[in-house]
Structure 1
Amino acid sequence: MRFIKACFRPSLTSRLWKKPVLQPGILCHSSSVRETYLKSAINRRPIVSMPDVGNVLTNALTVNTRPNTCKYHKHQVDDCQQERDVVSVKPMPDHIVIKVRNGEEIKTSGMWLRDHCRCDLCYSESRNQSLYDPGSISSKPTIVELIHNENEICVEWDDGHRSAYETTWIMNCLLNKRPRYPNKQLWNVEKIKSANISMISYKDYMNETDALAECLRNLYTYGLAFVDDVPVNRETLIEISERISFLRECEHGKDDIFVSTSQTMYKDIAFTNQDLGFHADSAYNAEPPGYLVFHMTERSGEGGHSRYVDGYYVAESIRQHRPDAYGMLSQVLVEQELKDKGVHYVGKYPVFTVIDDEVKILRYQPTDRRFIPHLSLEQTELFYDSLRVFYQKIYSPENEYWLKLQPGRVLLLDNYRLLHGRSKFTGSRVLRNTVLPRDEVDSRIRVLTGLG
C-alpha cells in the first residue's frame, strides 16, 4: 500500500479529516474509518465536494507535527489576523473561487495551489527546497474535495494527494499585501539627519557579531552605514570588506584608488579633482556592483565633499506625483558605455529597474551615457521631460545629503539604491574603494539580521 503523508498539522487534521486525535506517526488507511471521519466533520465544519468525481481516496496518512507559523511569511500566523476576510471558498475542477467580505470573488488556479503545497512529499523543510516540479505532470491536477474553516483551506486532489494552506497566506498573495520596500526607511535630508545612524567602532565591527549585525542593519535600512576609528591603510579597508563577503574585482582591480592627479592612467572623471555629479557605479554592467566600501585615507585642501541621495525615495516620489515620468524611466533603455585602458563595457538598461512594483536597481551615470533610442516625437519629449524631473529631484536641497569624509571613517553604500558624487576640490584627496557582490552581502544581512 502506498502511504501518503498528510501535510496538515495535527490540530487541523483532527478537526477536519477524522474523529479521533491521531498521534504523530499513526497511520490511518481504512475507507470506513475515513468516511466516518468525514461524516463527523460535516456537522462541525463547512465541507463541499466536487460533483461527479466519486468517493474520496483513502490512501494512508502519516500525521506530522508542524510549527504554528506561516512557512511562506516566516512569522507567527497570528500576525496576519487583519487579512482573514474570507467569507467562503467554492471549489471548481481546476480552480477555487474565494469570496471576501466586500463581495469580491477571486479565482485561484488549482495548478498554482498544487505547486505551493508544503507537505513533506512536496517540500523539504530541512533543506528549504521544493521537491515538486509542476512541469513534470502530464495533466492538470483536479480538485476532488475542499474543506475551509477560518484559518485554513484543505484540498484533496484527484491523485490522492492532500494539501493545506493558511487562509491568511493565500489572501496576502492574491491581494498583494506585501508592503513596498519592507523594513527600509526611505529618506530625504531631514529624515536621514534625524535617524542618527550609529557609528560602529572598527574594533567592535571586527570582533563582535552584534556590531557587524548593527552595521548591516543600517546598510539595509538606510542604504549606508559607517565604521569609525579605522586605521588608515589599504589593508584595513580590505579587512572590513572581507568581514562581510569576498571582494568583487572591478575593472581597476581588487580595489580602486581615486587620486587627484593630472598623471592618472585612467580617463574616468572620478580620478580627477573636478565636480562629480550624482551617479551609480558601473551602470553599463548587467550586474552592477552591489555594495561599495569607501575609505578616505588622505585629505587636504578645500572642497571635495561627498553627496548622497536616496534613489528609492526619489523614485517613489516620482511614482506618486508623475507616474508618466516613472513609466518612461522604467521602460526606455539607455545605452551606457565605458571605454578605458584594457576595458570596453556596453549595456542597455532603463534608469529604474522595477521588479514586483519596486525599483530594485538605479542605473544613472550621465557621463557614460552613449545613446538614447529613437522614439516617437511625443515619447522623446516625454522621456527628456522625465529626465528633467529626475534631475530636479536628486539635486533638490531637500534630498541632497552632504558629508565630508575624513581619514579613519569607512562608509558602506548600497549602489543599487543610493546615488553618490562629490564637489570639486583642491589639494590632495585619496579615496580607496572596494566592491562587494550583491547576493553575498544580502545573504549575510538575512543571516545576521533577519531582514531582506
Structure 2
Amino acid sequence: MTHVKTAADNHRLVVDYQDQPRELTALWLREHSPAPDTLDPRTGQRLIEAAALPLDLRIEQADADGKRLWVHFSDGHQAEFDLDALLKTSSEKAEKPLWDASLEQTPQADFHAALEDDGALLEMLEGLHRYGFVLVSNVPTTEDGMQALIERVGPLRRTNWGGIADVKSVANAYDLTMTQRGLEPHTDNPYRDPIPGYIWLHCLTNAADGGDNTLVDGYRAAEVLRERNPDAFDALTRVWPTFRYQDDTTHLESEGPLIELNSRGETVRVRYSNRTERVPALPADELEAYYAARREFYQLITGDELTLHLKLNPGQMLIMDNYRLFHGRRAYELAGGVRHMRQGYVDRDSTASRRLVLRRQLAHSDSEEVA
C-alpha cells in the first residue's frame, strides 16, 4: 500500500511507498509534473520556467493508489505521477560491483557478435559499465580492425595524435608509452578537457617477452583508502593538481583531484599520472599531508591485492573506463618478438547513450513480443 499525507502547512508531501517514507516539497513535485502543459510529450523537456514557480506553492489535495500519485496544487495545476519513475533513485553504485585481484570472471565479448547483434552489443556495454573494462576477442588484426565496432558505439575521439594510433616502441618517442619501459598504473590524458572516457586497446602482435597489461579498479582503491585512512582519502579529494603535456605543437593543461566525488560522496573519477602531474605550491602542512596520502594510494594501486594481470593475444582488445580504471604494463624485451598495439578513444557520453538507448529499445521489443 501507498500512503500520503501533507506536512509543513501543505508545503510538503510525505509519501510512504514500498515501506520507504519520503518527504517531498510541493515545488519539487510541481516541477517534476509529467502533464503535457509542463513537460513536452515529444522531447521530454520542461515547458514551464521552474525558477518562476511561486515559493509558497502548496498541495491542496493528494491521493495515491498502488503505484500512482495524484496531486492538486495551489496554482491550479493537477498532475498524475508514476511513483516508480518519480521516486527512482540512482542505481549506478549497485550496478558497479567493486573488484580486486581476486576477480574470477572477467567481462568478455565477441567482436563479430557485438558488431552484428544489438543484444550482444548491449551485453558488451553493460559489462563495460559494471566492471569498467571488457575483453573483446576475434578482432581483425588489421591496423583499423576495431574501427567498425567503434562506429557502432562512437564516434572516435580525435586528439593531437590523430584517431587510432600505434602503441609500440619507436625511436625518438614523443611519449613514454612508445618505449619498452614498464608503465606505472595511470589514467590516460588527465591534461585534456574533457578527459577521454574510454580507451580501446587492440593487440595486433604481442610476441615480446613481458608487456603484460595491469588493471586496477580505481573505485575499489579509493574505497579501501577511505576505510583504512579517512584523512588520506580526504586529502586526495581536496587537493587539485595540474596535469600538463607539451611538445613542439601542443600545450595541454587541466586540473582535478586524484579522487573525485559526486554530490553523494561517491567516487566518480580517479586520476593518476606521475609523468604529467604538477602539484601547486600549497601550505607546507597541506603538501605534507597530500604527499603522504598519495604515497599510500600509490602503494595500493601498485600492490598485488588490487591488481589484475592480462597479456593480450593478437585479435584481442581491452576497452577500459578511463574515469575508473588504472592501467599499466610490465616492461618488455623486443628480443622475444614484436609488441604492436593500436589505441583509440571514445567519449563517455556517446558510450553511455548507446548503452541506455539499446537497453530501452530491447526492453520495448521484449515487451511487444510478450504482448
Partners of 2:217 and 2:45 in 1: how far apart? Answer: 35
Cα distance change of structure 1 residues 442 and 149 upon mapping to structure 2, 3 Å threshold: closer
> What SS class does the counterpart of residue 188 from structure 1 fall into?
coil
> What SS class does the counterpart of residue 341 from structure 2 fall into?
strand
Match of 1:348 in 2: 255
Partners of 1:292 and 1:88 in 2: how far apart? Answer: 50
Match of 1:361 in 2: 269
Partners of 1:394 and 1:329 in 2: how far apart? Answer: 14
> What SS class does the counterpart of residue 189 from structure 1 fall into?
coil
> Is the Cα contact below 8 Å between 2:27 and 2:55 reproduced in 1?
yes
> What SS class does the counterpart of residue 352 from structure 2 fall into?
helix
> What SS class does the counterpart of residue 294 from structure 1 fall into?
strand
Letter in 2 for 1:155: V
1:151-300 alignment, distance < 5 Å = 151=66, 154-165=70-81, 172=87, 178-179=90-91, 181-191=93-103, 194-200=104-110, 202-264=111-173, 266=174, 268-300=175-207
Match of 1:132 in 2: 48
Match of 2:278 in 1: 370
Residues 126-170 of structure 1 show CA distances to partners (whole Å, capped at 9, x for unaligned) of 422222221244x43521512344655543223211234456766
> What SS class does the counterpart of residue 431 from structure 1 fall into?
strand
Match of 1:143 in 2: 58
Partners of 1:178 and 1:297 in 2: how far apart? Answer: 39
Shift of the alpha carbon at 1:344?
A: 0.7
> Is the Cα contact below 8 Å between 2:26 and 2:59 reproduced in 1?
no
Partners of 1:320 and 1:148 in 2: how far apart? Answer: 44
Match of 2:28 in 1: 112
Partners of 1:154 and 1:207 in 2: how far apart? Answer: 45
> Is the Cα contact below 8 Å between 2:13 and 2:26 reproduced in 1?
no
Cα distance change of structure 1 residues 319 and 88 upon mapping to structure 2, 3 Å threshold: farther
> Is the Cα contact below 8 Å between 1:124 and 1:131 reproduced in 2?
yes
Shift of the alpha carbon at 1:277?
A: 0.5
Shift of the alpha carbon at 1:235?
A: 2.2
Shift of the alpha carbon at 1:436?
A: 0.5
Match of 1:447 in 2: 357
Shift of the alpha carbon at 1:376?
A: 4.9
Match of 1:420 in 2: 327
Q: Give the alignment's TM-score, normalised by structure 1.
A: 0.71
Aligned residues: 354
Cα distance change of structure 1 residues 252 and 425 upon mapping to structure 2, 3 Å threshold: same
Cα distance change of structure 1 residues 141 and 114 upon mapping to structure 2, 3 Å threshold: farther
> Is the Cα contact below 8 Å between 1:97 and 1:105 reproduced in 2?
no
Shift of the alpha carbon at 1:208?
A: 2.1
Partners of 1:324 and 1:274 in 2: how far apart? Answer: 34
Percent sequence identity over aligned pairs? 27
Shift of the alpha carbon at 1:250?
A: 1.6
Cα distance change of structure 1 residues 437 and 167 upon mapping to structure 2, 3 Å threshold: closer
Partners of 2:22 and 2:108 in 1: how far apart? Answer: 46
Partners of 1:165 and 1:90 in 2: how far apart? Answer: 19
Cα distance change of structure 1 residues 99 and 445 upon mapping to structure 2, 3 Å threshold: closer
> Is the Cα contact below 8 Å between 1:122 and 1:131 reproduced in 2?
yes
> Is the Cα contact below 8 Å between 2:63 and 2:69 reproduced in 1?
yes
Q: Please identify, of 350-359 and 442-451, the stretch whose mean Cα deviation from structure 2 is larger.
A: 442-451
Shift of the alpha carbon at 1:254?
A: 1.0
Letter in 1 for 2:133: L
Q: Does 1:89 align with 2:6?
A: yes
Shift of the alpha carbon at 1:99?
A: 8.5
Given candidates 371, 381, 389, the residue that maps to 2:296 is 389
> Is the Cα contact below 8 Å between 1:260 and 1:272 reproduced in 2?
yes
Q: Give the alignment's TM-score, normalised by structure 2.
A: 0.86
Cα distance change of structure 1 residues 182 and 322 upon mapping to structure 2, 3 Å threshold: same
Partners of 1:323 and 1:303 in 2: how far apart? Answer: 36
Letter in 2 for 1:90: A
Partners of 2:90 and 2:356 in 1: how far apart? Answer: 18
Q: CA RMSD in A?
A: 2.7
Shift of the alpha carbon at 1:291?
A: 0.7
Shift of the alpha carbon at 1:326?
A: 2.2
> What SS class does the counterpart of residue 253 from structure 2 fall into?
strand
Shift of the alpha carbon at 1:179?
A: 4.5
Given candidates 294, 297, 308, the residue that maps to 1:401 is 308
> Is the Cα contact below 8 Å between 1:333 and 1:373 reproduced in 2?
no
> Is the Cα contact below 8 Å between 1:89 and 1:148 reproduced in 2?
no
> Is the Cα contact below 8 Å between 2:39 and 2:46 reproduced in 1?
yes
Partners of 2:163 and 2:272 in 1: how far apart? Answer: 23
Shift of the alpha carbon at 1:414?
A: 1.0
> What SS class does the counterpart of residue 366 from structure 1 fall into?
coil
Structure exhibiting the larger radius of gyration computed from Cα positions:
1
Unaligned runs of 5+ in 2: 363-371
Match of 1:316 in 2: 223
> Is the Cα contact below 8 Å between 1:336 and 1:370 reproduced in 2?
yes
